[in-house]
A = this chain, B = another copy of it.
Amino acid sequence: MQLKDINTEEKIIEAAKNAFMKYGLYGARMQDIADNAGINKALLHYYFRNKEKLFDYVFDGALSKYFEQMLVFSDTSLPIKERIFKYIDNIIDFLSEYPQMSMFIIKEISVNEELFYEKVQNIKKDKGVHLIALLNEGMEKNEIPMIDPTVVMMNIHSLCAYPFLASPIFKAIEKSSGVSFHDEENQKLKKSVKEFVDFKLTLNKN
C-alpha cells in the first residue's frame, strides 16, 4: 500500500510537471494530466485537492531545485571565482538534465510576478548569498577587479541559462545542429562561460 501510495502520487507529479511546463497553470488540463498519469481524474483532487495546489507543489519543487544550484555561492572555503565556476558547472549540468526548468520558471513568472516574488522570499530565506553580493564581496576583498555587479550577474546567468531556453530557436533560425546539449556541448558552454568570467573577473587585467 505504501508503495502503491507513492506510485500514484509520483505519477501525478510527473504528469503535472510535464503539463504545467508545457501549457502553464491555465493552459494545462486536469483530464490530460490524469490521462498521462494513467489514473482517474478524481484522484488529482484526492491527492492535491485542486489544480492550483497541484501547480504550487510542482512549481515550488522546481524553484527549490533551481536554488539548490546557487548554494555554492555561500561556500566560503572557496575563493570567489571558484564559487562562480562551480555554480556554472552546477547550473549547466542541472539545466541539461532538466532543460525545461528555466522555461517553466520564466513562463510562470510572466503570468504572476507578485506571487513568484513571494514564493522566492519563502523558499530562499535559507539559501545563502546571491551572485551580486558575492561580486561585491570579491571587489571589497580585492579578489576581483571593479565591475558593475548587476551587469556581470546578468551576463553570467544569461550565458548559462538562455541556451537551454532557446535551443529550438537556434535550431530554426540559425539552422544549427550543434545545440542538442550532450556532454560535449555542455563542456563547450561551460568553458565559454568560464572564459567570460575570467575575462571579467581576473585582476591582472587592470
Contact = CB atoms under 8 A, between A and B. Distances in A.
Interface of A: 21-28, 67, 70, 100, 103, 105-107, 109-111, 113, 116-117, 120-121, 124, 130-132, 148, 150-155, 157-159, 161-163, 165-166, 168-176, 178-179, 188-189, 192, 196, 199
Contacts of A106: 103, 106, 165-166, 169
Given A24-B107, A117-B168, 16 more contacts: A23-B24, A24-B24, A24-B26, A24-B27, A25-B27, A26-B27, A105-B169, A107-B107, A110-B168, A130-B173, A150-B174, A151-B188, A154-B162, A154-B179, A158-B159, A165-B165
A70 to B, nearest CB: 8
B26 A23 contact: yes
A132 B174 contact: yes
Nearest to A162: B158
17 contacts: A23-B24, A23-B26, A27-B111, A103-B107, A106-B165, A106-B169, A110-B168, A116-B168, A116-B172, A117-B168, A120-B172, A120-B173, A121-B172, A150-B174, A154-B189, A155-B159, A157-B170
A129 B192 CA distance: 24
B196 A155 contact: yes
B168 A153 contact: no
B110 A22 contact: yes
Contact of A130 (B150, B155, B175): B175
